[in-house]
Amino acid sequence: MDAPSFWQKNHSSNPVDKQTYFEYHTVDFSRTLGLVTPMNYEWPKKVIIDCDVGVDDALALILAFHSPELDVEAVTGVNGNVPLDLVFENIQKVLCLIQPKNKPLIAKGADRPLKGEPVYAYSFHGKSGLGKARIEKKKHEEWYRIFSGRADELIPKLVRQHPNELTLIAVGPLTNVALALQRDLEGMTMLKEVVIMGGAVRVKGNVTPYAEFNIFVDPLAAKIVFESGLPITLVPLDVTHQVCLTPKVIEERVKPLNNLFSQFVVEATQYNSTTQRFLENSEMFHLHDPLAVGVAIDQDLVGMKRLSIDVNTREGDYYGQTKEVEGNLKINACLNVNSKTFLELFLSRLSS
């Protein structure tokens, strides 16, 4: 039984907040949810999501806010799939769709990489960044609190407020994270964990033969973050290319849900029932960013290896490459994934 259905079955008429629920129930969730989670784990996990909303970023936000294992404190925006102003607008739109009761802080971050010119992914995410999905923001109805400062100010500020408790989930270029490190290195070392969607360790890239998009957009920022000594879990293309939506999944699992979130998935991924193709005439839609959220929920979804990763910042064919090297500074790199279990988790949270 997945977490939402378990929750709804036991609290359908009198819901309680997540913290109260997990504090006063002693159910062995590792068996109940089918997830391997220690009984003494602190539920829910406080997280910040740094993103460049895009389509899969939006799906990652839906998964995060619909997961009782996570308590999203803030959502920060960074230049990436689309320009920063559009990213920030999309954050607000997606939160209006989700309508989180515990309104998170939101903040704008960097509008360009640390070095070089911005690179966008309109061909994949559409001009709006959300495919063909349309979300109307209702006047006088806000499901978020706008932070007056920058993202690289908000992130370490929250970390200091919750030392050794916060997990940062970064699913866009790492510019904001690098700037936060430069602003307050001591504060950032109080992060419990950093989960990063990015890189291609033992597989080909998706923007060049050697580089994955998030790292390619700002390899200098990635290098700063990877060499910071923070407790990093990298979720690269090696695993995200193993988790995807297919026409069969859309037709048999997503559409029958017949709710706002299933409709958003269909429209945002630009799924065409006639051709049974997604955007760019693709036969599948990879769940890159949602998998990073999934790893934050349950690391047993993936198999990891401690690796030293070098980020190539030199102009040329290998710009943005993430390569295994010999070294003492290591991060957790995800190299395999239980695709079926993750997909079930993702689909179950669409019904929330």
Residues 155, 184 contacting (CB under 8 angstroms): no
Q: How many CA atoms lie within 13 A of 91 on its CB side?
A: 29
Nearest by Cα to 74 from 159, 186, 192: 159
Q: State how far the Cα of 9 lies from the Cα of 3, in Å rounded to an integer.
A: 10
Catalogue the active-site residues.
288
Three-state DSSP class for 308?
strand
Structure tokens at 344: 């079930």
DSSP character string of 111-147 = SS-SSS-----HHHH-TTSSTT---PPPTT--SSEE-
Nearest by Cα to 280 from 54, 122, 124, 130: 124
Residues 290, 269 contacting (CB under 8 angstroms): no
